[in-house]
Amino acid sequence: MARVLQMKSTTSTATINTLPTLFARQGIPAEIVSDNEPQFRSDAFRQFIESDVIRHITSAPFHPRTNGQADRFVQSFKKAIKSASEDSACINKKLNSFLCKYRITPQGTMNGTPSILMYGRKIRTRLDMMNPNVTTTVVNKQYSSTAKHCDSVVRDFSNSDAVNVRDYRANSEKWANGRIHSQTGPLSYKVDINGTLWRIHVDQIVGTSKDQPSNPTPIVTADIAFIPPFNTSGTTD
């Protein structure tokens, strides 16, 4: 699996500080193959790889083909970035676009795509959105059906419905009055509370009527995963 990290410097210190990011994602390698640039021949780099018990192999001087796979990838990368030079997108966006295409492209020598060989699955791309996916459709329907029947009483709200929602702010009433703004999931809604949108689970919402008190008895008293709302940007999303 090809990895490319953007660096402002290629000194030994910068290289040593960057490699742990790759190790954290992929694990510590047993072997590293590099050219003979000064950062790879420094004492600091030698101590770094020895501390993780990594074998370091350098290519023969003036013979970059020793590390043929890396060299071919670098050539492909440079060609792709050069062909996108007229694109006004930032270099990071160009890099991610290239890596996505590279990882889903079958490699002749590896008999598969890099993503399948590394992760055991095909990574999702925009092209997949254009093709019907039976598995995803079935899973979504099953989830929706389960969500609707997970409560003994199904509570559905429509936009602009007047409701009371559980208020977890300090020094406030237990319930706040508001109106349903929109539904964000099978069991979640955005509620307009005095001009601020709160993202609320259906268990934390009760409908209001003329016969109901302003602070009704909670329907659910069990612990509920919840992120308290705040008013810095007008929405919790």
* Dihedrals phi, psi of 13, to nearest 5 degrees: -65, -45
10 Å CB burial of residue 145 (0-12, 13-18, 19+) is: exposed
Query: Is the alpha carbon torsion for 197, 199, 204, 205 positive or negative?
Result: positive
Tell me the CA end-to-end span of the chain in Å, nearest whole number: 34
- Specify the amino acid at residue 128: D
Say if residue 216's pLDDT is above 90. no
Say if residue 165's pLDDT is above 70. yes
Please give the model's pTM, rounded to 2 decimal places.
0.47
pLDDT reported for residue 6 = 80
Say if residue 175's pLDDT is above 80. yes
User: In a 3-state reduction of DSSP, which class is residue 162?
Assistant: strand
The CATH number that domain 147-237 falls under is 2.30.30.140
Q: Alpha helices of 84-229 — where are they, by DSSP H?
A: 91-103, 114-119, 126-129, 134-149
The CATH number that domain 12-103 falls under is 3.30.420.10
Q: Give the C-alpha separation, 194 to 60, whole Å.
A: 70
Place of tokens 């099953």: 142
| CA dist list (Å): 49 to 14, 34, 211, 219 | 14, 12, 72, 58
Say if residue 64's pLDDT is above 70. no
Q: Give the C-alpha separation, 11 to 17, whole Å.
A: 10
* Domain segments of the chain as ranges: 12-103, 147-237
| Confidence band, pLDDT 50/70/90 cuts, at residue 144 | low
Higher model confidence: residue 38 or residue 173? 38
